[in-house]
Every structure is written in C-alpha cells, then in structure tokens.
Amino acid sequence: MVRGVVVLVLASSFYGFAIGSVHSPLFGARNLVKFPLLILVTAAICSVAYFLIARMLTPRLGFPEVQALAVGIYRDISLMLASVAPALLFLAYTIDQPTLRELREYPLFLGLNVAFVALAGTITVIQRSRALISGRGISLPRGLLIITSWLALSLLVGGQWAWFLRPFCGVSALTEETPFLLGSMPDYRGAANFYEAVWHLFDAPPLPDDWTSQSMML
C-alpha cells in the first residue's frame, strides 16, 4: 500500500504541474503539493465512506479490502492523468491566452481537465470495484448499486475538495498575487461551489465589469 501511495503522489504531482503551467511556473510549482493533497484527502475520505456503504449493502467486503481498493483506485486515477500531462503541458503554453477583456481558450482548457478527471475516475472506479465484487459472490443488482454509490461519492467529494483547494490553474492576465488556496470564496463569475462552476463552463453568465480587479480564479 505504501508503494501505491508513493506512485499516487508522484503521478499526481506531474499532472498538477502541467495544468498549473497554463498560468505560470509558480502555479505549476504550487500544484506539486496541492494536487497530490487533493487526491490524498479525497482518497482518505472516500476509503472510509466506501466501507460504510459496502457494509450497508453486503457483509462480504472487509475493511482492509476496501482500503486497499481505495488506494488502488486513486493510484490508477493519478497514473491515467499523468499519461495525458505532456499533452496538457503543451496546451498550457500554446492556447490562446486570456486577456483582461476576454478569457479566449482558457475555459476550454478548464473543461478538458474536468473531463479528463471525471473520465479517469469513472473508468477506474468501475474497473476496480467490479473486479473486487465479482470475486465475492455479490449479486449483480447489489454490485451495481455499490459501484454506482462509490462512483457518485468519488465525484462529489473530489469535486468539492478541488474547489476548496483551488486555484490549480488561473487567469494569467490577472497580475495581483493569488493566495495559495481560495477556500469557499466565489470565483470571478460568482460560482460558490464546484458544481456551479462546472455549469458555468457550458452556460456562462457575463463577466462582471470589475472582474479584472478580483483574484478569484479557478
């Protein structure tokens, strides 16, 4: 399990540096700490919640098994994200950078990262949990319920912790100093949580007139 945690930290650091580079080397360097922290905190919370869900639905899954499963899931997610990090690092330096008047291709970069994280999480949770459940004689309906619950929990917990630990990227045109993390502060479009911010990627409200004076970046 220790080896899995080490791999998780190294792989997630590589991905974090790639996405932070869209703003600056400073943001990339911050993400060497922040993105592994996001993965580790999410894994710690979900590992306990996975077990509680499993115990409510079946007695066939023990605590050590579920903990090992959680480490494996988040290690695999980190490895999948690290595999696309070189492409994202290239995009970070070649996209049409935002200005003080418009965001240009920056929302596309954010959207791609949200999609990659969600896809990596979905694939990994389904594969890992299906393999574990199939070897324990759990019925298909109950197994599907466990997998669906674990997947929904992972997305909810990971998404909100990502919001709390932001910015991982950031609008490079804004020059004022940005805190290491923004916590519960609303972003430059007024989103108060991760789910509202994702919705704004598809149905964005107009930027406020004074958005350039705010350091509320994603």
Instruction: Compute the distance between CA of residue 197 and CA of residue 188 in angstroms, rounded to an integer.
Output: 10
Sequence-ordered list of residues with C-beta below 8 angstroms from that of 188, at least 6 positions apart, any chain: 171, 207, 208, 211, 214, 216, 217
- pLDDT for 218 equals 44
For residues 188 and 45, the answer to whether their CB atoms sit within 8 Å is no
Per mean pLDDT, which range of 21-25, 73-77, 166-170 is the poorest? 166-170
Identify the pLDDT of residue 112. 92
What domain count does the chain have? 1
Residue 206: other Cβ atoms inside 10 A: 7
Asked, for residue 207, whether it belongs to a domain, the answer is no
The mean pLDDT of the chain is 85
Tens digits of residue pLDDT in 166-187: 889 877 776 567 788 888 787 7
Burial 110-143 (b: 16+ CB within 10 A, else e): bebbbebbeebbeebbeebbeebbeeeebeeeeb
Asked whether the predicted pLDDT for residue 198 surpasses 80, the reply is no
Chain position carrying tokens 């999410």: 42
Residue 213 — very low, low, confident or very high, per pLDDT cuts 50/70/90? Answer: very low
Write a three-state SS string for 106-129: HHHHHHHHHHHHHHHHHHHHHHHH
Asked whether residue 202 is assigned to any structural domain, the reply reads no
| Residue 208 falls inside a structural domain | no
What pLDDT does residue 74 have? 94
In this predicted model, what pLDDT tens digit does every residue of 147-173 receive, in sequence order?
889 989 988 898 889 888 988 987 777
Instruction: List phi, psi (to 5°) of 18.
Output: -60, -45
User: Under a CB-based contact definition with an 8 Å cutoff, are residues 161 and 153 in contact?
Assistant: no
The structure's pTM equals 0.84
User: DSSP letter at 193?
Assistant: S
Give the highest mean pLDDT range of 28-37, 188-197, 206-215.
Answer: 28-37
Q: How confident is the model at residue 98 (pLDDT cuts 50, 70, 90)?
A: confident
Question: Is 188 within the bounds of a domain?
Answer: no
Predicted local distance difference test score (pLDDT) of residue 94: 94
Residue 197 lies in a domain: no
Domain coverage including residue 126: 2-174
Residues contacting 31, CB < 8 A, separation 6+: 13, 16, 17, 19, 20, 168
Confidence of residue 20 (pLDDT cuts 50, 70, 90): very high
pLDDT, mean of residues 127-147? 83
Q: Which residue has the higher pLDDT, 210 or 185?
A: 185
* pLDDT confidence band for 45 (50 / 70 / 90): very high
**What does the pLDDT read at residue 217?**
43
Tell whether 80 is covered by a domain: yes
Residue 39 included in any domain: yes
